[in-house]
Amino acid sequence: MSLRLRVAVSFAALLLALLLTVFASSLTSLRHAFDQELQDEVVQLSERVVQGAGGAGFPFSIAPALLVPQVLDTYASPGTFVRVLDADRQVIAASAGPGSFRGPERVSWTRGNFARIVIDSESYMVYHKRVRVPGVFPYAVLEVGHETRSFDRLLSALTWRVAIVFALGVVAAFMAAWFLAQALLAPLERMTRAAESVDPASLERRLGWGGRSDEVGRLAAAFDAMLDRLALAFERERRFVADASHEMKTPLAAISGNAQLLQRWGDEASPEVRRDSLQAIVRRAREMDRMLREMLALSRAESEAVALRPTNVNAVVRAAVAGWEEQARDRRVALTVQLPEAQVDVEGEPDLLGVALSNLIGNAVKFTPPGGAVTVALARNAARVVLEVADTGAGIARQDLPHIFERFYRGRAERQVPGSGVGLAIVQSVAKAHHGGVSVESELGKGSRFRLEIPVN
């Protein structure tokens, strides 16, 4: 069963229950009103009889003259009867009329002094009043009856009319429920069609239902937000593939060229040529591995799925510094680290923090001439953890500073040093992933100072 049909049936069932309640209560009210009208009629008739033939002790007694049928006939009318019963419920006197001298065939119900009885297949509303007939009967019952046929016919006719209205209401309720369900579910169908049409080439489509503040509007906003995230994910994937293709061309060409050289000349090549070609292949393969790891780190840092956890920043700093100590010694660059005595913890991703800090240290070591110094410092204040890498290298030109955190951007001086151009882009992405930031101060000929700041909370 479709959702639309289930919603329509549910609405229709609710409306039917409401109509049925109204139908039942209306019939009950009508029957009660008719019964009340009949009861008022018989009570008024009994009062006229007692008042017209009152005896001693009126109003609880009647004169013996009332026991004459002709006298009772003066109070009765078509559709009514008046009779007097003795203590054994036997008819003493009765007005002329259908069943006046017969006992009831069936008693439908009794409420106090009122009852519904059937005499000769005719239904009557009767009222009993205990009376005395002085000198004749110490105890008797005055019984006044009124036929209910006219009221029952009217009630039956009204019941049929209400039933017809109810049947039409059933049809109208289902149709209204169907159209209401269609109106309510129409936005969901449009969202379904939009979702089915989504592909990498059409991720720019949006529902654009920002004007709706109801549940459907919130669902549409969530759907558009999901498309935003999908578009961002596809864009990251596209950029990653494009970046990888761009960066791999040069090392792959070098590897291919040296491999073809070895394949072509084989044993005829001199040992020096073979050694140089193999070293070039190994060097380029290592360069490709480094590039891939850097681009994967960049893609991971730009992802919204970075899971932060309590991280010992002191350990991250020591590991990153240790990775560059040997190269710093080879270049005769003094690499020092300044750590606080107390352990510094932060909510972070230790691997990404290590990659970012390693990139900053590696750049400082590579761009600092022999005899220079690189200092790595860790500090913490009330709001932030600050990782600082300072060097006494060549510095960065003023015109290059606004662009150094862009992917693959390399200044004129940086082009002389091997690198992929994504190191600082990784640092900035890692900072954003930790809700922090990165800044730089640099002066040509004096060095640079990078600050990676991460909020404590």
SS (H, E, C) the chain: CCHHHHHHHHHHHHHHHHHHHHHHHHHHHHHHHHHHHHHHHHHHHHHHHHHHCECCCCCCEECHHHHCHHHHHCCCCCCEEEEEECCCCCEEEECCCCCCCCCCCEEEEEECCEEEEEECCEEEEEEEEEEEECCCEEEEEEEEEEECHHHHHHHHHHHHHHHHHHHHHHHHHHHHHHHHHHHHHHHHHHHHHHHHCCCCCCCCCCCCCCCCCCHHHHHHHHHHHHHHHHHHHHHHHHHHHHHHHHHHHHHHHHHHHHHHHHHHHHHHCCHHHHHHHHHHHHHHHHHHHHHHHHHHHHHHHHCCCCCCEEEEHHHHHHHHHHHHHHHHHHCCCEEEEECCCCCCEEEECHHHHHHHHHHHHHHHHHCCCCCCEEEEEEEECCCEEEEEEEECCCCCCHHHHHHCCCCCCCCCCHHHCCCCCCHHHHHHHHHHHCCCEEEEEEECCCEEEEEEEEECC
How confident is the model at residue 415, as a pLDDT? 44
If we measure between CA atoms, which residue out of 266, 147, 137, 189 comes closest to residue 3?
189
d(C-alpha 109, C-alpha 401), whole Å? 102
d(C-alpha 414, C-alpha 423), whole Å? 12
Q: Domains of the chain, with CATH numbers?
A: 3-156 (3.30.450.20), 215-302 (1.10.287.130), 309-455 (3.30.565.10)
> What does the block give as tokens for 248?
């791999």
How confident is the model at residue 212, as a pLDDT? 67
How confident is the model at residue 337, as a pLDDT? 93
> What does the block give as tokens for 21?
């309640």
> What does the block give as tokens for 374?
């690189």
How confident is the model at residue 113, as a pLDDT? 82
Classify burial at 193, counting beta carbons within 10 Å of its beta carbon; exposed 0-12, middle 13-18, buried 19 or more: exposed
Could you give phi then psi for residue 76, rounded to 5 degrees?
-80, 165
How confident is the model at residue 178, as a pLDDT? 76
Pairing of strands 384-391, 91-94: unpaired
d(C-alpha 52, C-alpha 173), whole Å? 57
d(C-alpha 400, C-alpha 421), whole Å? 13
How confident is the model at residue 391, as a pLDDT? 93
How confident is the model at residue 210, as a pLDDT? 63
How confident is the model at residue 229, as a pLDDT? 76
Write out the chain's pLDDT in tens, 457 residues. Answer: 566 677 677 777 777 788 778 878 877 887 888 888 888 888 888 888 777 666 555 556 676 767 777 777 777 778 888 888 887 778 888 887 665 656 665 666 567 788 888 877 788 888 888 877 776 777 788 888 888 887 778 878 888 887 888 788 778 877 877 777 777 777 777 777 777 776 666 667 676 666 666 777 777 778 778 777 777 767 766 766 666 666 667 677 777 887 787 777 766 767 777 777 788 888 778 767 766 776 676 666 666 567 788 999 999 999 999 988 988 998 999 999 999 988 999 988 888 898 889 889 988 998 899 999 999 999 988 889 999 999 998 888 888 888 787 766 665 555 444 555 677 888 888 888 888 999 999 888 889 999 999 998 6
Contact criterion met (CB below 8 Å) for 393 and 372: yes
Strand arrangement of the beta sheet that strand 91-94 belongs to: 91-94, 80-85, 137-147, 122-133, 114-119, 106-111
How confident is the model at residue 140, as a pLDDT? 82
How confident is the model at residue 101, as a pLDDT? 58
Strand partners, 391: 374
Cis geometry, peptide bond prior to residue 138 (ω within 30 degrees of 0): no
Instruction: Please report how the helices 215-265 and 271-302 are oriented relative to each other, as an axis angle in degrees rounded to 10.
Output: 180
